[in-house]
């Protein structure tokens, strides 16, 4: 996980969080009284977080409003917040902590880092439950044949996730195999849709290649056994679900095209303790749990 520490010598008492998952984490770690600012998208846990003033969106946070809150720590994310916001906060002389968890292990490490920075106990019940849930998922994964899963994040254009993403790692941990884990985003758009030659790596440069735009023909070729349609970042509708149910794929034949809670897939907070078993149930609703010495049986 790419992250930059805030160089703290004292425990922060006034924290602004521009990251919904991190804001929720602070409350679940018993640190909600430190949060003096949040974004419009920091909506959990309600009603407690609703009493915290908002400083705007994740992409257009008001740096003047943040500075006016006199925070001694601002928490930002490399993907959810813009470089301009991060740069402006640093230019104001504010202490900024930048995170970018791309795996469940990264998320666990971030939770422990936040607890240490802000003075929460290392054995806080939320951290213990999270560690236990991860260990249980690892145990189950070791004795389960993974289900091929397609998880789009946008409908028009149809967009999904590469293997180098948090959601893909959640699926892997819970006994799934992202059918597009090896499919990077290609540039330009026509190349991503198979209509033109892709740019060279040199020309692509630092552009994000982790969220490819794919076609229904590609979904058909990959033959997913489960299709998960999260309600965020795009709120997939029942009409969207019918598009995938009409495809000749195992997921459609087996009734495994599901509209699901997006927070369970993409929020990296202690909520994962409950989210991971839920994702596991979506992928393996009728699993037979076996002892380590028994042969693996595809459920």
| Matching residue, tokens 């979904």 | 219
CB atoms within 10 A of CB 298: 9
Per-residue pLDDT reduced to its tens digit, 225-268: 999 999 999 999 999 999 999 999 999 999 999 999 999 999 99
Q: What's the mean per-residue pLDDT of the chain? A: 91
| Beta strands across the sheet bearing 35-37 | 35-37, 15-17, 73-77, 96-99
At 55 the pLDDT is 98
Residue 141 has pLDDT above 50, yes or no: yes
Can you say how many angstroms the Cα of residue 221 is from the centroid of all Cα atoms in its chain?
A: 26
Is the pLDDT at 299 greater than 80? The verdict is: no
What is the mean pLDDT of the segment spanning 15-41?
Answer: 98
What is residue 226's predicted lDDT score, i.e. its pLDDT? 98
Mean pLDDT of 10-28: 96
Given a cut of 90, whether residue 89 has pLDDT beyond it is: yes
Evaluate the omega torsion of the peptide bond into residue 47 and state whether it is cis, within 30 degrees of 0.
yes
Q: Please check the confidence at residue 28 and state whether its pLDDT lies above 50.
A: yes
Task: Please tell me the number of Cα atoms within 13 Å of 100 on its side-chain side.
Answer: 12
Contact at 8 Å (CB) between 55 and 61? yes
Mean pLDDT of 278-293: 76
pLDDT tens, residue by residue, 161-180? 999 999 999 999 999 999 99
Q: List domains and CATH numbers for the chain.
A: 15-122 (3.40.50.1980), 143-283 (3.40.50.1980)
pLDDT of 125 higher than 80:
yes
* pLDDT (0 to 100) of residue 186: 82
Tell whether the model's pLDDT for residue 76 goes beyond 80. Answer: yes
Q: Read off the pLDDT of each residue in 5-14 and give the average, rounded to a whole number.
A: 74
Confidence of residue 7 (pLDDT cuts 50, 70, 90): low
Instruction: Please provide residue 75's backbone torsions phi and psi, each rounded to the nearest 5 degrees.
Output: -105, 120
Residue 14's alpha-carbon distances to 2, 86, 126, 146, 294, in angstroms, are 24, 18, 22, 44, 53
- Cβ atoms 137, 280 nearer than 8 A: yes
| 18 or 296, higher pLDDT | 18
Q: What tens digit of pLDDT does each residue of 144-154 get?
A: 999 999 999 99
Give mean pLDDT, residues 14-32: 98
Residues near 138 by Cβ (< 8 Å), separated by ≥ 6? 173
* pTM score over 0.75: yes
- Half-sphere exposure at residue 79, Cβ-oriented, CA atoms within 13 angstroms: 16
The whole-number pLDDT of residue 8 equals: 56
The larger pLDDT score, comparing residue 290 to residue 127, is at 127
- Res. 188: pLDDT tops 50: yes
Bridge-partner residues for 226, per DSSP?
Answer: 149
């Amino acid at each position: 996980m790419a992250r930059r520490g805030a160089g703290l010598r004292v425990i922060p008492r006034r924290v602004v969080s521009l990251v919904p998952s991190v804001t929720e984490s602070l409350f679940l770690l018993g640190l909600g009284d430190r949060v003096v600012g949040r974004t419009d998208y920091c909506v959990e846990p309600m009603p407690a977080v609703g009493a915290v003033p908002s400083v705007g969106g994740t992409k257009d946070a008001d740096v003047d409003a943040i500075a006016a809150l006199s925070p001694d720590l601002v928490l930002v994310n490399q993907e959810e917040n813009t470089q301009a916001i991060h740069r402006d906060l640093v230019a104001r002389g504010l202490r900024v902590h930048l995170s970018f968890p791309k795996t469940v292990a990264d998320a666990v490490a971030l939770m422990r880092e936040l607890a240490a920075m802000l003075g929460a106990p290392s054995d806080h019940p939320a951290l213990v439950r999270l560690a236990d849930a991860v260990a249980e998922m690892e145990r189950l994964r070791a004795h389960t044949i993974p289900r091929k899963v397609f998880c789009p994040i946008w409908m028009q254009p149809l967009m999904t996730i590469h293997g180098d993403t948090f959601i893909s790692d959640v699926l892997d941990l819970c006994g799934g195999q992202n059918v597009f884990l090896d499919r990077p985003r290609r540039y330009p758009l026509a190349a991503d849709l198979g209509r033109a030659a892709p740019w060279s790596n040199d020309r692509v440069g630092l552009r994000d290649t982790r969220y490819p735009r794919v076609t229904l023909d590609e979904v058909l070729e990959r033959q997913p056994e489960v299709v998960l349609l999260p309600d965020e970042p795009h709120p997939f509708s029942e009409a969207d679900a019918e598009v995938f149910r009409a495809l000749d794929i195992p997921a459609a034949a087996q009734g495994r095209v599901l509209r699901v809670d997006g927070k369970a897939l993409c929020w990296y907070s202690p909520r994962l303790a409950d989210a991971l078993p839920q994702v596991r149930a979506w992928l393996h609703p009728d699993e037979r749990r076996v002892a380590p010495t028994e042969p693996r049986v595809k459920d």
